[in-house]
Amino acid sequence: MSITRIITGLIALSLICAWAHYTCPYPELAQIVANPTKYSGQRVAVFIEARITAQTADGFILNQRGTPLQVHADMKNVPLNEFVAVAGIFQPPNSLYADTVHLAQGRRWKMAVSVIPVLALIFLLPLALNFDRQTRTFTLRRNASFYLFCLFSFL
């Protein structure tokens, strides 16, 4: 891969990150609660690191990074401390009438399992490659085919 393609890809990635940062298409719960008149009656979505902290008679209490929100939904027996994505109509001062609720069941398990390929990279790549300090390049070792086979079978 040429250096031009790498630099072009990095520039494109940084432009996408800058666009996402400055346009802020999804406001966080703290922004919504801090300015309730701006979001009053609008459809909002809360999904990043949002957890259910308590259950109420007509829904549950949602907490995103320390900011609580009363969610009115037709869900009963909601598991506490579970990740959730909620979309609905925001009503001041601090309530959301949800029309879409998605429980992220197994999210912690998925995060734990995703660590396995990273550990495989950390342990198998140094076994397959040798770094030459004089030329500052990586070269394959003699038995690298076995380690690379093990590495790519994980990925």
Domain boundaries along the sequence of the chain: 29-105, 114-154
Residue 35 has pLDDT above 70, yes or no: yes
Q: Structure tokens of 52?
A: 């259910």
- The tens digit of pLDDT for each residue in 104-134 reads 877 778 878 888 888 877 887 777 777 888 8
Q: Which CATH number fits domain 29-105: 2.40.128.640, 3.20.20.70, 2.40.50.140, 2.40.50.180?
A: 2.40.50.140
pTM: 0.59
- Non-local CB neighbours of 94 within 8 Å, separated by 6+ positions: 33, 36, 68, 69, 70
**Residue 155 banded pLDDT, cuts 50, 70, 90:** low
Helices and strands, number each (H, E), in the chain: 6, 8
- The tens digit of pLDDT for each residue in 62-99 reads 888 888 889 998 877 778 888 888 889 998 888 899 88
- The tens digit of pLDDT for each residue in 132-153 reads 888 878 777 777 777 667 666 6
